[in-house]
Structure 1
Amino acid sequence: MRKAGEISRLPDTELEIMKVIWNEAKSLSTSEIKEKLEIKRPWNSSALQTLLNRLIDRGFIESYKEGKNRFYIAVVEENAYLALENRLFLNKVNNNSLTKLVASLYDSRAISQNDLDELATYIRQKAGGENI
């Protein structure tokens, strides 16, 4: 698997495909990927193939052929990609301030007091403090 420093940000459509592949955590055929994507909206087969080839070129997935079917598997772990996206977002929108991010989410009612309490517990645990 590739590390976060070796990967780049994905366009939304390619990310949509990666989410399907990450969610299944196994090799998927082109038709299986298309079927899962089409739960949300229709997909053109040739456009999907183009995007899958781009993901291969970017090093996010690998493919192999078995009989008449082509299968795809993730090379970049979802957690590594999420770490990259989160760092970029935090830097771009909140000037690298986690406090600003959390305050903004709380002030806009996107998160609740219960969410803040869970976050505080998580931070205490990760910092080696007591678990309340």
Structure 2
Amino acid sequence: MNSHLSKTEYRIMEYFWSTGGKYTFGELMKYFNEEEDKNWKKQTLNTFLSRLIDKGLLERKKEETKAYYGAALTKAEFKQRKAKAILEECYEGKISHFIAALTGNNAITKVDEKELIAHILDK
């Protein structure tokens, strides 16, 4: 999964995540052009939707005679995958390397340590 999104792609996903709905192409055109003042042509929206499908974030399903677009991942799942991708790409997949970079190789505070442990134990 490609975790990088443009501002517009992220805004489109925010719409799906906030509503939890599935929409036809026409409904999406109407929403973004009327509610978001985008003034998009069909090809513009189609390009964004296709990119989001290719990135594994949207899915397009045919129901009877209509196709509907919906989120393939929740926002939480997207954030988790994005965080894992960053960890893999930049920190050899190790949280300890990330924390060292974040703190400038200084020890984390006791408060941060307790918070991390509590979060891990909640899982």
TM-score range, shorter chain: 0.5 to 0.7
CA distance in 1, matches of 2:78, 2:113: 25
How much identity, in percent, do the aligned residues show?
A: 22
The equivalent residue for 2:21 is 26
- Is the contact made by 1:62 and 1:75 (CA closer than 8 Å) also made in structure 2? no
In the alignment, which of 20, 40, 45 is matched to residue 44 of structure 1? 40
Q: Quote how far apart the aligned CAs of 1:92 are.
A: 1.0
- Is the contact made by 2:3 and 2:82 (CA closer than 8 Å) also made in structure 1? no
CA distance in 1, matches of 2:119, 2:54: 38
Call closer, same or farther: CA 1:15–1:112 in 2, change over 3 Å: farther
Count of residue pairs the alignment pairs up: 111
CA distance in 1, matches of 2:109, 2:117: 12
Letter in 2 for 1:32: Y
Gaps of 5+ in 2: none
Q: Quote how far apart the aligned CAs of 1:98 are.
A: 0.1
Deviations 1:19-68, CA, capped at 9 Å, x for gaps: 331222122431325567x49xx563442232113434565222569xxx
Letter in 1 for 2:86: F
The equivalent residue for 2:69 is 72
TM-score, normalisation: structure 1: 0.56
- Secondary structure of the 1:44 match is coil
- Secondary structure of the 1:12 match is coil
Gaps of 5+ in 1: 1-7, 127-132
In the alignment, which of 4, 12, 27 is matched to residue 5 of structure 2? 12
The equivalent residue for 1:61 is 59
Letter in 2 for 1:85: K
- Is the contact made by 1:27 and 1:71 (CA closer than 8 Å) also made in structure 2? yes
Letter in 2 for 1:12: L
* RMSD over equivalenced CA pairs, Å: 3.8
